[in-house]
């Protein structure tokens, strides 16, 4: 499929995975955390970080859209686990335990969601230790909250990218688009369990080796949209070459690939001298990786492709989440 850069930029800017996040800052502004000294990181991050001795306790939560629950309750239950485990890993942490909230009157849907969550627990080795059920709701939903831990010196934030950093994309290319979740590149169900867990441990390893300045897991906004969130909260800009982004062989739909939720995919900002080590570690656990661009202080995310250059987001006025790094008394910078 042949397309120009202008078409790619328009598709990403109007992609619901990006646009549906634009009001997050309104909720954050109503519930500020600045006056709570134990909160080291919160808005704009994949998980909140709370002071806990020489560690941070990490908190995250995700809800699965009702459309997916109806289309494939098994995958909804599984993804409820996957997305939370990815959020803790993206912070450099180790997931400890989860709780769930299920809302449905349909026993079949409930049973399939439970089976999906059971498989998530088995694959990622993170227990569900409690939860709540709404057996008389008039809608179908699954929500999971998770806690994790990370040594204070090892935490990876979204808001600390630096001018001159390499932008690294790492993605497991061995996957497929399931019929019931065509917006998702699913990799984790077909990989050996040990490899799936090793991919999560690799993020904690690069955190322990202090190889990156910032990072996020590639979530609903897709790979480039996730980078946009990282740059927005870091108050930085970047230039990215779309031709350098790892892609599966014979995948001709570039826009679909850029917008896909990645079963295992991360974006990092790292000092150039550490990039080779990051790529080496992820290659060892089955992930393709590449340096796809550079961070700069322009506060614009620019894309290049086949000799063309265009601005995707200008954070002087564009909003993805509207979250900016807040200066908490305990926050690490």
Instruction: Return the SS3 of 291.
Output: strand
Note whether residue 25 is domain-resident: no
Distance of alpha carbon 326 from alpha carbon 268, whole angstroms: 21
Task: Give 49's strand partners.
Answer: 41, 58
Together in a domain, 15 and 63: no
List Cβ neighbours of 161 (8 Å cut-off, separation of 6 or more): 213, 214, 230, 231, 234, 236, 269, 295
The predicted model gives 158-166 an average pLDDT of 97
Q: What is the pLDDT of residues 199-229, one digit of tens each?
A: 999 999 999 999 999 999 999 999 999 999 9
Q: Judge whether residue 78 has pLDDT over 80.
A: yes
Note whether residue 116 is domain-resident: yes
Residue 159 sits in a domain whose CATH number is 3.90.650.10
Band of the pLDDT at 325, cuts 50, 70, 90?
Answer: low
Show the beta-strand stretches assigned E in the chain. Answer: 39-41, 48-52, 55-64, 94-103, 128-134, 141-151, 166-171, 184-185, 214-217, 237-241, 261-262, 265-270, 288-296, 300-305, 308-314
Together in a domain, 134 and 168: no
Note whether residue 272 is domain-resident: yes
Per-residue model confidence (pLDDT) at position 313? 97
Q: What is the pLDDT of residues 109-158, one digit of tens each?
A: 999 999 999 999 999 999 999 999 998 899 999 999 999 999 999 999 99
Together in a domain, 176 and 302: yes
Distance of alpha carbon 5 from alpha carbon 132, whole angstroms: 47
Together in a domain, 196 and 252: yes
Q: What is the pLDDT of residues 263-290, one digit of tens each?
A: 999 999 999 999 999 999 999 999 999 9
Together in a domain, 95 and 221: no
Number of domains, the chain: 2
Q: What is the DSSP letter of 260?
A: P
Burial string for 179-206 (b: 16+ CB within 10 Å, else e) reads: eebebbbbbbbebeeebbbbbbebbbbb
Note whether residue 332 is domain-resident: no
Together in a domain, 108 and 175: no
- Sign (positive/negative) of CA torsion 323, 327, 329, 333? positive
CA 61 to chain centre: 12
Q: Judge whether residue 330 has pLDDT over 50.
A: no
Together in a domain, 70 and 131: yes
Q: Judge whether residue 332 has pLDDT over 50.
A: no
List Cβ neighbours of 114 (8 Å cut-off, separation of 6 or more): 77, 102
Together in a domain, 283 and 135: no
Residue 95 sits in a domain whose CATH number is 3.30.1330.10
Structural domain for 138, as ranges: 36-152
Q: What is the mean pLDDT of the chain?
A: 93
């Amino acid at each position: 499929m042949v397309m120009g850069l202008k078409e790619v930029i328009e598709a990403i800017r109007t992609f619901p995975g990006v646009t549906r996040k634009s009001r997050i800052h309104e909720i954050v502004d109503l519930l500020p955390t600045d006056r709570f000294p134990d909160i080291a990181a919160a808005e704009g991050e994949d998980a909140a970080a709370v002071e806990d001795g020489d560690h941070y306790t990490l908190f995250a939560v995700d809800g699965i859209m009702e459309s997916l629950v109806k289309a494939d309750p098994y995958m909804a239950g599984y993804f409820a686990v996957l997305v939370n485990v990815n959020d803790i890993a993206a912070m450099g942490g180790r997931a400890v335990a989860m709780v769930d909230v299920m809302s449905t009157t349909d026993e079949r849907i409930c049973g399939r969601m439970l089976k999906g969550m059971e498989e998530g627990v088995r694959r990622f080795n993170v227990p569900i230790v409690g939860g709540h059920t709404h057996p008389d709701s008039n809608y179908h939903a699954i929500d999971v909250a998770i806690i994790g831990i990370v040594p204070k010196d090892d935490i990876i934030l979204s808001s600390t990218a630096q001018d001159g950093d390499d932008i690294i994309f790492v993605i497991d290319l061995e996957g497929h688009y399931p019929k019931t979740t065509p917006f998702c590149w699913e990799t984790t169900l077909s990989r050996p369990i040990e490899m799936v867990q090793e991919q999560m441990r690799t993020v904690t390893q690069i955190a322990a080796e202090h190889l990156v300045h910032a990072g996020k897991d590639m979530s609903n906004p897709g790979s480039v949209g996730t980078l946009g969130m990282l740059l927005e909260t870091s108050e930085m800009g970047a230039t990215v070459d779309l031709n350098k982004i790892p892609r599966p062989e014979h995948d001709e739909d570039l826009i679909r690939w850029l917008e896909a939720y990645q079963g295992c995919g991360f974006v990092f900002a790292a000092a150039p001298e550490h990039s080779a080590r990051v790529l080496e570690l992820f290659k060892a656990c089955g992930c393709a990786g590449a340096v796809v661009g550079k961070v700069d202080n322009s506060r614009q995310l620019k894309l290049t492709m086949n000799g063309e250059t265009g601005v995707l987001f200008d954070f002087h006025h564009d909003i993805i989440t509207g979250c900016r790094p807040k200066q908490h008394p305990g926050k690490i910078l």
